[in-house]
Amino acid sequence: MSTLAAQVPLSPSELKLLQTLIYQECGMFFDERRSQFLQDRLQRRLKACQMDSFYSYYLLLTSAQGKKEMNALLENLTVNETSFFRIRPQLELFKKTVLEELLRKKQERRDWSLRVWSAGCSTGQEPYTLAILICDTLAYYYLRNPPTPKPLIPPPWKVEILASDINYSALLTAQQGIYTETQMEGVDYTLRLRYFDKLADKYVVKPALSNLVQFDFHNLKTEFLPRRNDVIFCRNVMIYFDSAEQKRLVEKFHQCLNTDGYLFVGHAESLFGLTDKFCMIHDNNATVYKQMEKAAR
């Protein structure tokens, strides 16, 4: 048996070094509970790089040539579980309360732009769900004045959905927008017909819908994140950060939202103890946080 196939010993100090490096790079924090997962993934990467010491691997990651390997490591560490229409009560709240209010207020100001960010979008099901909900909400405009050909977003509205992640492979899958029958479970028949094309046994997001979503790489750990958002969805991402990093991220989200913008976090996550710059709205089993300007607090 080759020595590379065997497990390479990982000392507590090497583990600490790598843990700290990963935390500094992307905010993911591996506590006791997730330490075995981290060690397994590190062993996997060490083997892929054909290296026989974790200290050499650490030096590779911190070298000028190490960027590619850092991305590969992060791809191995992220949890990309997601689905279409995940946690429906939150999406109902988004559609019925948040969107209604935003559209009404914007219409009064004759501001026809709407910008929504899915931060940590994984393989795309979340931003495409948001695109579908926005299109459906705006659809009633057609009743008054149907243009030809029918665009999904009626003029003069301009909708941008930004979808970002740290995992390049997930982003590529998201951009391709091709999903299996199992992945389509949450999407009902009418929505499938309207927003997807059938290609053999798969479903492909129609160009009219995918054109509304712009995929990009953004590491939520970095200082400069996309601004001027009306709504941010960052669900099931902060759960992997420690509370210091969660606080920093929520502060950045506050900066990245327009006044009175909304933040959705995962339904098992909360802003409790992290900030006093948002007010919580809870309705029908779902929660959203509304950004408060300093003056209003």
Query: In the complex, which residues of this chain contact ligand SAM (CB under 6 A)?
Result: 26-28, 78-82, 86, 120, 122, 126, 165-167, 170, 218-221, 235-237, 240, 266
> 91 with 85: CB under 8 angstroms?
yes
Of the two residues 159 and 232, which places its CB atom closer to ligand SAM in the complex? 232
Least gap, CB of 241 to ligand SAM (angstroms): 8
* For residue 156, cis peptide bond before it (omega within 30 degrees of 0): yes
Which residue, 26 or 263, has its beta carbon nearer to ligand SAM? Answer: 26
- Contact (CB, 8 A) for 261 and 146: no
Q: What span, in angstroms and rounded, lies between the C-alpha atoms of 167 and 176? A: 15
> Which one, 221 or 254, has the nearer CB to ligand SAM?
221
DSSP string, 144-174: H---SS--SS-TT-EEEEEEEES-HHHHHHH
* Residue 297 Cβ vs ligand SAM, minimum distance, rounded to whole Å: 28
The structure tokens listed for 84 are: 């279409």
Asked if 89 and 286 count as a contact pair (C-beta separation under 8 A), the reply is: yes
Residue among 129 and 291 whose Cβ is closer to ligand SAM: 129
Rounded Cα distance, 141 and 107, in Å: 13
| Minimum distance of ligand SAM from residue 130's CB (angstroms) | 10
The distance of closest approach from Cβ of residue 222 to ligand SAM in the complex, given in angstroms and rounded to an integer, is: 8
3-class secondary structure, 288: strand
Write down the least CB distance from residue 74 to ligand SAM, Å: 7
Q: Whose Cβ is closer to ligand SAM: residue 116's or residue 154's?
A: 116
Q: Based on CB atoms, which residue is closest to ligand SAM, 18 or 166?
A: 166
Minimum Å distance from CB 58 to ligand SAM?
20
Note the helical H segments in the chain: 12-26, 32-48, 54-62, 67-77, 88-93, 100-109, 125-138, 141-144, 168-176, 189-195, 207-210, 243-256
Q: For ligand SAM, which is the closer residue by CB, 40 or 293?
A: 40
**Least distance (Å) from ligand SAM to the CB of residue 120?**
3
Angstrom CA distances, 200 to 181, 195, 210, 284, 286, stand at: 11, 16, 20, 39, 37
